[in-house]
A and B are shown apart, each in its own frame.
Chain A
Amino acid sequence: MSTIHAKRAEEYLHDEAVALRHDATFFGVRQKRDRMAQALPEWEQLRDAASQIKKHTVTHLADYLEQFAANAEGHGVHVHWAQDADEYNAIVYDILSSHNVKKVVKSKSMLTEECHLNEHLEAKGIDVVETDLGERILQLMKLAPSHIVMPALHVHREEIGDCFREKGLMENLKSQDNPTQVPSDPNDPTFLTFVARLHLREQFAQADAGMTGANFGVAETGDVVVCTNEGNADMSTSIPRLHIVSMGIEKLIPDLRSLAVFQRLLARCGTGQETTVYTSHFRGPRPGGEMHIVLVDNGRSSILADPEHWQTLKCMRCGACMNTCPVYRRSAGYSYTYFIPGPIGINLGMLRDAKRYADNVSACSLCMSCDNVCPVQVDLSTQIYRWRQRLDGLGRANAMKKLMSRGMTILFNHPALYTTTLRFSPAANWLPSALMNSALNPWARGHLMMKFPKKSFHQLWKELEKESRNQ
């Protein structure tokens, strides 16, 4: 009867050390974010402004999209429009194949995950290389991201070292002019990063095309703004002559002045840094090169038309809601069935395909911490509450919860029945402990059963009233 999320979370929690480490790691990121938030007196005003700007932009999206496309085209950029994932994948493949691209290097993009671009291109014989370190590790290990900003933070360095050795990445060490010795700890993080660096340099040099995502698209200028910590987006676009940008249509903002608001929030919320190490503006192709922007809808305009959920379009994918979510921290990314986990992932999954991704809706205690960290004030918990109201209609309600809710309703709608039940409830104390604390009682899995008092407040009230009158 439990959801897939609940079952996977239970399995995940069996290894207490791993689970505690995961929780501590991501709570640490949340605390770094808190220190950043506390250091800016205007923090809450920035959140207000960011939310207002996003609301304004997504409700005037058609105008800003036209302005953005016109400005980009004015700088010699080819702008493409994709209605869905299939169209997007086909457009990207057409661009790559018409340029005879054999290898493409990519910086991080959740949109390409959303559309399964890598699989599509690989099936057609194109070598796709992720260049964000975390993404590359996962690609080599054939794993999916478990977080949208720190996708491989759950993988331990021993596993990474083993993977690099198995995949032959250590061979690069020998070909250097000054060969590097393997340190006494073969999984030393600095050493492994160096190995990855050599490996990625080789990929950049060999690639025929570079792909990036977009953190922001500035309508006023046609700029695509990409934020990274590793400079891999810049490497991906500085060596190959062909640059393809994949951008969801909700990434648009009106002007550079608004960018300043988001620029101050994004890294502070996402990783607890003042800013990302690289914030690169791409305005047009470099000399002798070619630049394409693919603007992707893939369901976004339907979200905009949904009066209860349109505000999810404000999200700028900083990941702060995951880091603060007590359920995400204790269940980790793979417990969720949608590729984006945590509070925003629950909502985006439901918007993608409510029936298919309904298993994630249980992963919320409605603590509302996510609402309060979100830099653009998406009402994440309210939206999860709303999705729960729709589960029964989708045929995805939890039968036990339904039964309990119905039972309670009968009881609570009939005060006489309710008070009678209360009077007899202490009898439950006499049930054998083995029965009350058995596996059949889900409450008893984590708790010892409570004891009912001899008298309910309803019964005690008669005495209190009498006592008051006598005073």
Chain B
Amino acid sequence: MSFVTSVTETEVLGARALQRTLVRISHEIVERHSEGAPPVLIGMRTRGVPLAERIAQSISHFASAPPPTGALDISLHRDDIPLRNATAPLRTSVLPAAIDDRVIVLVDDVLFTGRSIRAALDALIDYGRPAAIELAVLIDRGHRELPIRPDYIGKNLPTHREDEVLVRLAETDGRDEVVLRSRTPAASAQT
């Protein structure tokens, strides 16, 4: 006997809401860093990278120059790879020349257990000693396993552990949207 699982998909953010959310995050970053050098925006591969670029673009509307951006691949610092295979291709990290004494805003699409952020912090420290590291996420879906807290949150989304949050971006997926995919056990089909 088998269980039939039904999958429901709910839109969390549409294209326009997603863009508005990023603009709001940009405002919050600018407000907090009105003095001193602009923070460095570092996107976590894969989808954190276009998000960081868009936030930088949006900040450039009220700053003299767009803030520097970078891209970080955390594969080599993950703690779950011995359990799970590293099947995603390794990509090159690209960081601005010096991050010493700069404020860094790490940008990721979904904050879940916090383990990726832990890996990103470890990787960043190998490049130098930033003045501070802040965290911006498009979606905070809860279920943290580590003491990690975001500074800028696009949207708080209550989820079940088994749910999937799918972030699609024009740059990587051809369109902008955030979808919540939940699996709910349904009555098995009659035979």
**A complexed with B:** no
